């Protein structure tokens, strides 16, 4: 990384992209270049991942490819999906790479023939459940965890499983009333996906929803906000938080639980839109992420988490992957979503921002 | 000259494809055509199989979805089961289309767009499969209808499920590949088998070819006629031809040795007489000259006979036999009147009947033979001589009879052989003449009879009588 400096390293807040979508737009745009050379290729990445988390990786990429000027746009998952749909229909400028944690939305985009196929020795090494049609690739491996405030939850009460969480809420509802948070699934594609997968995984989900309703659990937005609130003590426990966000920055006061009944693992999905202007560079970026160097950087950013971690004391048989395949399309079904949302709304008092 | 010819032939042979090559070429092209046909058939079969199996998956998914539809507050609501998409996911890399539509075509849930509206309408009782496109990619769809008769909702809900056809094509290709591999192995085995069978059945031909090419051009011995009928026929014909060649070569050899043998003595005698005539005094010279003339005449006769024998031998081998009336031969010889020249004092009579005596023979050979018989009778027999034609028990007979007692017994024993030293040394050979008769009799499946009767000595040439009216 020596000799690399960022020319325009900083957060540029854009309020709107006037041409494409006046109402919704990317939140943050960051540009990465290598100062010593003149960039002749501009690679646009639209992603749901926080820029800060991805920065080391993006820096390493432009160091490897000095002729590339990398534009990293951070989006919300639902906005990114809608934008990609519009681009797919031929409206607006296409990104070269789209990365989203809303894997079901990505599967839907691929199913709508919005993606470009690519195949290399590195993509071929991916397991089948992390790849679909050579158009969608799962580049990370992140656990959905339960976090709790160490000073507010007694050591004996720490729920190591969903059943324990359920029991805890039944046993002492008053202690946790309004103190349990999870993603607002209507606002967050990732939150919806986690909840939806939970509903398929086990019958616990019905019980959980019921218990959430009894303790007036809060559905709110955004990983960073939830984590900060747990640390500050506003919430005691947060359910289904993306583990990578918790681990990136050390939080002394936060305990992380990989639920022992099962732990869900998410692979952020990457696709190269069919209208991408720089398909070759985009493919090079994908290969870079899948290469040993890229994987090491992702692991450094906690985006690839190994499950055989002694600390978490889980057996691999409890790992559940969110497979990148067409079954996720069910999560996009209009009726199914409406029904799911209806059940959800019944349980939660939606926390409006 | 021989060498040049041989080289030329070898060059021609090298340019020609062997029978095995031709047949194998034919078999190969037949198999290749069969292979192409089978490949096409296998592909058609594979496509059909893939279509059927994946159509079932489609139908299963459609039924799954259709089962999940319930009427909630007067509106059909689908609770899309994950298993339906799991089913569709069996076609691993195929994109999926699904759509639940009301009777009026409004999309209740699922994708809108690419759908053939026509398939939806009408009285849909059976699932309808159809081909279409999904975002420009060929795809296959099925539509099933579910009819509701609830208090607050009545009518049909249509479920359409489709997917792209990558997996189908892959499966069809896989099946085709399998079939082609098996066919290929089978074809190879067939080819090897065919090669083996053809080779072994052509073995006799090969052997024949090798034998022929290795054979000394002067070797005229028969070849072994083993092998299949076709080869046996060929070998047989070849052997017949070689046999004839052999006979002619043999005849030529005989002619030369006979000529040498028979001419040596009389020529030596003539030379002796001539030398004596030169040395003798004038009074006896005339007598010597007369002897010389007699010897010379006799030599002429001998030469005549030898040449005519050579002619007969040649003709019997080369001229095809034709139908001849023996009376014509007798008449012809009688009218030629050669005997008048030979021996004017001898009386010659002709004895022929009214009926034709047809035989199969060569006219020239026959005339030579009969002339010799007649000449013998005139020379050695007792006048009058009768030249006659008759028939008896399926044989046509031409005979010469004189009033004498025939040749002495020791001559009779050796008669008919190629030559007789004694006769030759005397200078006027009867044996040579008779050997011609024998040769003619042999050539036309006849025989020679010599009979001593009360009326005299008769030499008969018997030939098989041909049926009357066969072309005479």
Say whether residue A336 is in contact with chain B using an 8 A CB cutoff.
yes
Rounded to an integer, what distance in angstroms lies between the CA atom of residue B303 and that of residue B267? 11
Give the helix, strand, coil percentages of chain B, each rounded to 5: 55, 20, 25
Which residues of chain A neighbour B84 with C-beta distances below 8 Å? 330
Instruction: Say whether both B220 and B291 belong to one domain.
Output: yes
Whether B30 and B47 map to the same domain: the answer is yes
State whether A329 and B85 contact (CB < 8 Å).
yes
- Of all residues in chain A, the percent with pLDDT exceeding 90 is 32
Q: Which pTM was predicted?
A: 0.67
Of B279 and A124, the one with more pLDDT? A124
At B117 the pLDDT is 54
Instruction: Give the end of a domain, one of B201, B224, B240.
Output: B201
Q: Mind telling me how many Å the CA of A349 is from chain B's nearest CA?
A: 25
Coil, strand, or helix at residue B82? helix
State how far residue B81 is from chain A, nearest Cα, in angstroms: 7
Beta bridge partners of residue B109, listed in sequence order = B100
Res. A26 pLDDT band, cuts 50 70 90: low
**Which of B80, B82, B134 comes nearest A200 by C-beta?**
B82
The per-residue pLDDT for B275 is 87
Nearest CA-CA distance, residue B174 and chain A, Å: 19
The two structure tokens encoding residue A123:
């993509």
Looking at B318, B339, B367, the residue that finishes a domain is B318
Query: Does residue B403 sit in the same domain as residue B257?
Result: no
Q: Where are the domains of chain A?
A: 12-140+268-290, 142-265+311-350
Query: Confidence class of residue A317 from pLDDT cuts 50, 70 and 90?
Result: confident
Q: Which pLDDT belongs to residue A104?
A: 93
Q: What does the pLDDT read at residue B123? A: 62
Shortest alpha-carbon distance between residue A161 and chain B (Å): 25
Contact A334 B110 (CB under 8 A): yes
Residue B3 lies in a domain: no
Q: Does B79 touch chain A (CB under 8 A)?
A: yes
Q: How far apart are CA B352 and CA B346, in angstroms?
A: 20
Residue pair B446/B461 in contact (Cβ under 8 Å)? The answer is: yes
A200: contact with B, CB 8 A cutoff: yes
Distance, in Å, from the CA atom of B133 to the CA atom of B305, rounded to the nearest integer, reads 106
Q: How many domains would you assign to chain B? A: 3
The whole-number pLDDT of residue A138 equals 93
Measured in degrees and rounded to the nearest 5, phi and psi for residue B338 equal -60, -30
A 10 A CB-CB count for A61 gives 23
pLDDT given at position A147: 92
Q: Are residues B57 and B110 in the same domain?
A: yes
Please give the residue of chain A at the shortest CA–CA distance from B83.
A327
pLDDT at residue number A23: 38
Contact A113/B at CB under 8 A: yes
Residue B2: inside a domain: no
Are B109 and A325 a contacting pair at CB < 8 A? Answer: no
Nearest CA in chain A to B113: A112
* Fold annotation for A142-265+311-350: D-Maltodextrin-Binding Protein; domain 2 (3.40.190)
Best of A330, A331, A332, A342 to disrupt the B interface (most B CBs within 10 Å) is: A330
b/e B353-387 (16+ beta carbons within 10 angstroms → b): eeebbbbbbbeebbbbbbbbbbbbbbbebeeebbb
Q: Which of A111, A326, A341, A343 to substitute to test the interface with B, most B CBs within 10 Å?
A: A326
Question: How far is the C-alpha of B217 from the C-alpha of B124, rounded, in Å?
Answer: 90
CA–CA dist B273, B267 (Å, integer): 10
Work out the average pLDDT over A173-192. 86
Q: A129 at the B interface (CB within 8 A)?
A: no
- Of 3.40.190.10, 3.40.220.10, 3.30.230.10, 3.40.640.10, the CATH number of A12-140+268-290 is 3.40.190.10
Q: Do B268 and B358 share a domain, yes or no?
A: no
- Determine the pLDDT at residue B14: 54
Nearest CB neighbour to B78, from listed A112, A134, A335: A335
Indicate whether B341 and B310 sit together in one domain: no
The size of the A-B interface in CB pairs under 8 A is 55
Same domain, B353 and B314: no
Q: Are residues B296 and B373 in the same domain?
A: no
* Residue B342 and residue B468 share a domain: yes
- Same domain? For B325 and B311 the reply is no
Q: Would you call B78 and A113 a contact, using CB atoms and an 8 Å cutoff? A: no
Cα nearest neighbour of B164 on chain A: A111
Per-residue pLDDT for chain B (472 aa), expressed as one digit of tens each? Answer: 444 444 444 445 555 777 788 888 888 899 889 889 988 999 999 999 999 999 999 999 999 999 999 988 888 988 888 889 988 888 888 999 998 988 877 888 888 765 555 555 556 678 888 888 888 889 999 989 888 888 888 888 889 999 999 999 999 999 999 988 998 898 899 889 988 998 888 888 888 888 888 888 788 788 877 778 888 888 888 888 888 888 888 878 877 887 787 788 888 888 888 888 888 788 888 888 888 888 888 888 778 877 877 787 777 777 788 888 889 888 888 888 777 777 788 888 888 888 888 898 888 888 888 888 888 888 788 888 888 998 888 889 999 988 888 777 776 766 655 554 444 444 455 457 777 888 888 888 888 888 887 778 888 999 998 875 444 4
Residue B165 lies in a domain: yes
Q: Is residue A334 less than 8 Å (CB to CB) from chain B?
A: yes
CA distance B77 to chain A (A): 6
**Chain A residues closer than 8 Å to B93 by CB:** 132-134
B383 & B342 share domain: yes
Residue B10 resides in a domain:
no
**Number of C-beta neighbours around residue B47 at 10 A:** 18
pLDDT digits (tens, 9 = 90+) for A222-247: 788 888 899 898 999 999 888 888 87
Residue at which a domain ends, from B174, B201, B228: B201
pLDDT given for residue A98 in this prediction: 95
ipTM of the complex: 0.79
Mean pLDDT of A118-131: 91
Can you give the residue range of the structural domain that contains B192?
Answer: 15-201
* DSSP sequence for B143-175: EEEEEEE-SS-EEEEEEEEEEESHHHHHHHHHH
Note the pLDDT of residue B13: 56
Is the Cβ of A133 closer than 8 Å to some Cβ of chain B?
yes
pLDDT digits (tens, 9 = 90+) for A258-281: 898 888 999 999 999 999 999 999
């Amino acid at each position: 990384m020596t000799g690399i400096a960022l020319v325009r390293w900083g957060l540029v807040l854009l309020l709107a992209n006037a041409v494409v979508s006046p109402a919704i737009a990317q939140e943050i745009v960051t540009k990465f270049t290598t100062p010593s050379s003149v960039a002749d290729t501009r690679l646009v990445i639209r992603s749901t991942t926080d820029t800060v988390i991805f920065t080391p990786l993006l820096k390493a990429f432009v160091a490897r490819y000095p002729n590339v000027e990398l534009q990293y746009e951070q989006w919300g998952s639902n906005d990114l999906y809608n934008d990609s749909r519009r681009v797919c229909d031929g409206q607006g400028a296409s990104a070269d790479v789209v990365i989203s944690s809303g894997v079901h939305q990505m599967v839907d985009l691929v199913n709508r023939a919005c993606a470009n196929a690519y195949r290399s020795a590195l993509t071929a090494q991916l397991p089948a459940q992390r790849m679909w049609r050579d158009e969608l690739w799962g580049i990370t491996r992140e656990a959905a965890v339960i976090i709790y405030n160490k000073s507010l939850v007694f050591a004996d009460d720490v729920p190591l499983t969903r059943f324990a969480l359920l029991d805890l809420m039944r046993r002492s509802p008053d202690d946790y009333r309004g103190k349990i948070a999870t993603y607002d699934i209507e606002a967050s594609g990732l939150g919806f996906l986690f909840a939806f997968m939970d509903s398929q995984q086990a019958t616990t989900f019905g019980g959980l929803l019921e218990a959430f309703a009894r303790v007036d659990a809060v559905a709110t937005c955004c990983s960073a906000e939830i984590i900060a609130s747990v640390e500050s003590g506003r919430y005691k426990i947060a359910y289904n938080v993306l583990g990578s966000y918790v681990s990136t920055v050390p939080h002394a006061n936060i305990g992380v639980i990989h639920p022992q009944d099962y732990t869900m693992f998410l692979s952020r999905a990457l696709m190269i839109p069919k209208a991408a202007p720089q398909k070759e560079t985009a493919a090079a970026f994908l290969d870079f992420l899948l290469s040993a160097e890229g994987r090491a950087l992702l692991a450094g950013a906690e985006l690839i988490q190994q499950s055989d971690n002694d600390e978490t004391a889980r057996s691999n048989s409890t790992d559940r992957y969110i497979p990148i395949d067409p079954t996720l399309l069910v999560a996009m079904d209009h009726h199914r979503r409406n029904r799911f949302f209806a059940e959800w709304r019944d349980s939660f008092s939606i926390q409006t921002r | 000259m021989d060498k040049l010819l041989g080289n030329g032939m070898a060059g021609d042979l090298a340019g020609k494809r062997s029978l095995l090559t031709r047949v194998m070429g034919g078999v190969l092209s037949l198999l290749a055509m069969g292979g192409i046909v089978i490949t096409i058939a296998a592909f058609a079969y594979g496509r059909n199989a893939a279509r059927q199996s994946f159509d079932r998956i489609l139908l299963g998914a459609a039924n799954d979805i259709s089962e999940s539809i319930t009427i909630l507050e007067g509106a059909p609501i689908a609770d899309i089961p994950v298993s339906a998409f799991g089913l569709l996911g069996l076609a691993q890399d195929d994109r999926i289309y699904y759509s639940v539509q009301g009777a009026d075509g409004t999309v209740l849930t699922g994708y809108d767009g690419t759908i053939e509206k026509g398939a939806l309408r009408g009285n849909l009782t059976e699932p309808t499969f159809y081909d279409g496109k999904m975002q420009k990619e060929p795809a296959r769809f099925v539509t099933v209808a579910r009819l509701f008769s609830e208090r607050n909702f009545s009518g049909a809900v249509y479920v359409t499920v489709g997917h792209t056809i990558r997996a189908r094509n892959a499966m069809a290709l896989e099946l085709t590949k399998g079939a082609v591999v098996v066919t290929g192995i089978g074809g190879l085995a067939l080819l090897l088998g065919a090669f083996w069978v053809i080779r072994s059945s052509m073995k006799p031909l090969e052997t024949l070819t090798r034998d022929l090419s290795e054979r000394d051009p002067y070797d005229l011995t028969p070849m072994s006629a083993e092998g299949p009928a076709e080869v046996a026929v060929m070998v047989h014909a070849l052997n017949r031809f070689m046999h004839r060649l052999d006979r002619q070569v043999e005849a030529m050899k005989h002619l030369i040795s006979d000529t040498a043998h028979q001419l040596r003595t009389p020529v030596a005698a003539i030379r002796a007489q001539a030398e004596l005539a030169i040395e003798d005094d004038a009074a006896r010279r005339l007598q010597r000259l007369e002897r010389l003339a007699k010897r010379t005449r006799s030599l002429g006769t001998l030469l005549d006979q030898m040449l005519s024998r050579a002619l007969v031998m040649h003709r019997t081998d080369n001229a095809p036999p034709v139908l001849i009336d023996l009376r014509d031969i007798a008449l012809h010889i009688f009218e030629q009147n050669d005997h008048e020249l030979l021996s004017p004092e001898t009386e010659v009579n002709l004895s022929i009947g009214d009926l034709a005596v047809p035989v199969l023979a060569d006219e020239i050979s026959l005339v030579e033979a009969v002339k010799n018989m007649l000449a013998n009778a005139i020379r050695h027999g007792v006048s009058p001589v009768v030249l006659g034609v008759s028939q008896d028990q399926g044989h046509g007979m031409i005979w010469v009879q004189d009033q004498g007692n025939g040749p002495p017994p020791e001559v009779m024993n050796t008669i008919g052989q190629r030559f007789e030293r004694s006769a030759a040394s005397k200078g006027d050979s009867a044996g040579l003449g008779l050997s011609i008769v024998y040769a003619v009799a042999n050539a036309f499946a006849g025989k020679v009879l010599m009979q001593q009767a009360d009326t005299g000595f008769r030499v008969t040439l018997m030939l098989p009588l041909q049926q009357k009216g066969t072309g005479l």
